[in-house]
Homo-oligomer: A and B are copies of this chain.
Amino acid sequence: MSDLRVFGLRGIGDVSAGDDLASALLESVAGADERLVDDDIVVVTHKVVSKQEGRVVEILDEQAYRRLVEDESMDIIRRRGDLVIARTRHGFICANAAVDRSNVASGFAVLLPIDPDRSAHRIRNRLERATGASLGVIITDTFGRPWRRGLVDVAIGVSGVLAILDLVGTTDTHGNELQVTEVAVVDEVAAAADLVMGKATGIPAAVVRGLHVAGNGRATDLVRPAAEDLFR
């Protein structure tokens, strides 16, 4: 396997509804004296995608925020104090149904895109048409984990890459069949990209270069079916 390179896309600035996000991404790539090549994966935090899609809601007070979280929740999994662990319409289980008040003007909250896989597909189409390269696009959000402190970025929208790398039937160097067969490769890419994006640095996107995982995955492939869920 070849080396991996991850570089952040700077200078994208604040994004408003209807902005041309794909062009902003391409300008940032050009500004870094780079160009996108086959198999590059462009990773974008959902925040700028949601803003571009107008998924920003004014919240007058804390009560309005709580109501918004309930509205965005298909199912409340746990509740403790102000913290709600909820299932979103997409099937993601996360804190506060992913309603977020960071990196948006005070008094507003950002929701997830309605269909983040479709958002990723739309961005990918634009980038591929402009560059002629075969690309992947991953849209990310930052999720907690029930038993591990700290948060990590995960994929909530995917286009042009495998979501899960299935090693079923693969044998290890001892000839045993691998026990670990399904790797959530897009979540690992999302985590890698977050290392150069950061939360407060104004770098909302990154390019991951050197992986060869082209495919037709969707982030919804990552949602564990209710029948397999031991923790609901």
Contact = CB atoms under 8 A, between A and B. Distances in A.
Interface centre among A78, A179, A191, A203 (most CB of B within 10 A): A191
A158 to B, nearest CB: 12
A81 to B, nearest CB: 11
Contacts of A175: 106
Contacts of A146: 93, 146, 224, 229-231
A171 interface: yes
Interface string A170-211: 111111111110111101110110111111111100000011
A200 B148 CA distance: 27
A80 B192 contact: no
Given A102-B172, A230-B146, A191 B152 contact: yes
A104 B176 contact: yes
A131 interface: no
A188 B140 CA distance: 13
A188 B195 contact: yes
A176 B78 contact: no
Interface string A79-105: 010000100000011000000111111
29 contacts: A1-B8, A3-B196, A4-B5, A4-B192, A4-B195, A5-B6, A6-B6, A78-B230, A78-B231, A92-B147, A93-B147, A100-B179, A103-B172, A103-B176, A106-B176, A145-B184, A148-B154, A148-B184, A149-B182, A150-B184, A150-B185, A151-B183, A152-B184, A167-B199, A167-B200, A170-B199, A172-B200, A173-B200, A183-B199
List the 10 shortest-distance A-B pairs measured between CB atoms, nearest first: A150-B184, A192-B192, A191-B191, A188-B191, A4-B6, A93-B147, A146-B231, A78-B230, A3-B7, A150-B164
Interface of A: 1-8, 14, 78, 80, 85, 92-93, 100-106, 142, 145-154, 163-165, 167, 170-180, 182-185, 187-189, 191-192, 194-203, 210-211, 221-224, 229-231
